[in-house]
Structure 1
Amino acid sequence: MASPDKQQKRAQRAKAKAKQNRSGKSRPNVVHPVLANPLINEPFDDVAIDLSTFDFKDIEENGFDPAHFDDLFEAMKYGEGISLLAMCLVFLQYPVLELVIAEEAQDSATDFMMGLLITYRAIFHDEDEDTAIQWIGGEAFQAAYDEASTILQKKNARSA
């Protein structure tokens, strides 16, 4: 059995931790409060995505089937229900998108990203391509996208 002094120290630590949990403080390593939500921070951890079968050249030549991106679009919809920033954070953490950004030319990666965003807006907001492009180019989306990118850079720098 632990000494009375050790027991007292353990009790104090447990009491402090319980108080912290009750006060709703976010974890100290969270870069931004929205990342405290596990469905926004690492939203695709539980999704099985086989990146070895992903063929970007085929997508460039023939386009993509939106059904292959249901997980992304549903997670984006959930994120958008919280905020535009949350939606952008979800979007930028999609493993397929991360792969395309890392391995493809900037113009090709940008075209792919635009295609995903336009398709998302068509499915969930019933927008045509021109309206979706206006939304993507709008101040609100651009600000949220830039902030999301910065947040993820900080998060990735902390975990490296």
Structure 2
Amino acid sequence: MASPDKQKKRAQRAKSKAKQNRIGKPKANVVHPVLANPLIDEPFDDVEIDLSTFDFKDIEENGFDPSHFDDLFQAMNKAEAISLLAMCLVFLQYPVLELVVAEEDPEAATDFMMGLLIVYRSLFHRDDEDAAVQWIGSETFQTAYNEASEILQKRNARADVRA
């Protein structure tokens, strides 16, 4: 895992690039209409998240405290009121999740993502773990998740071309 200073610098660069892209991009040129909604496109840009204090090894060993991810869960809940696709877009843009996916073993990253989704479902839908896992494995969720991933890849590719 990168040093805390490197993580902090990376997060600051990502945040300033996101803000620059958001200010400089015309809304008519969005990859998908749902990204025209500021709750969905860069939803965590104004949230203070100190990635240098994030300790994935501690989470792997001891689990995570859901209260540490309240900003994610609240944003997901607001987005889910729009659509499942919007919720998946918000989820995939969470900076901590992006860090874990980029720097950790794919299996561990998947377990972390599953844990977050299961906790989200239990908090906002009162699902038990089995029901949440069934929802995550549903064709409806998988389709929305995969579409969200593709949308973000296209958006990021456009941003890289402009940079």
Q: TM-score range by the shorter chain?
A: 0.7 to 0.9
1:48-79 Cα deviation digits (max 9, x unpaired): 00000000000000000000000000000001
Paired residue type of 1:42: E
Partner of 2:108: 108
Partner of 1:92: 92
Give, in angstroms, the shift of residue 27 of structure 1: 1.9
Paired residue type of 1:113: M
User: 2:27 aligns to what SS in structure 1?
Assistant: coil
User: 1:82 aligns to what SS in structure 2?
Assistant: coil
The Cα RMSD (Å) is: 0.8
Partner of 1:125: 125
Distance 1:51 1:29 in 2: 31
Query: If the length of structure 2 is used for normalisation, what is the TM-score?
Result: 0.82
Distance 2:51 2:155 in 1: 23
Give, in angstroms, the shift of residue 156 of structure 1: 0.1
Distance 2:78 2:112 in 1: 21
Partner of 1:18: none
Partner of 2:18: none
Distance 1:27 1:89 in 2: 17
Partner of 1:48: 48
User: 2:96 aligns to what SS in structure 1?
Assistant: helix
Distance 2:88 2:31 in 1: 15
Give, in angstroms, the shift of residue 29 of structure 1: 2.1
Paired residue type of 2:101: I
Give ranges in structure 1 of 5+ residues lacking alignment: 1-25
Confirm whether residue 137 of structure 1 aligns to residue 161 of structure 2.
no
User: 2:29 aligns to what SS in structure 1?
Assistant: coil
Larger Rg: 1
Partner of 2:32: 32
Distance 1:102 1:33 in 2: 27
Distance 1:95 1:27 in 2: 23
Aligned residue pairs total: 135
Greater relative contact order (Cα 8 A, min sep 6): structure 1 or 2? 2
Give ranges in structure 2 of 5+ residues lacking alignment: 1-25
Query: 4+ residue stretches of structure 1 with deviation over 3 A?
Result: none
Distance 2:78 2:37 in 1: 11
Percent identity, aligned pairs only, is 77
What pairs with 1:58-73 in structure 2 (closer than 5 Å)? 58-73=58-73
User: 1:28 aligns to what SS in structure 2?
Assistant: helix
Partner of 1:158: 158
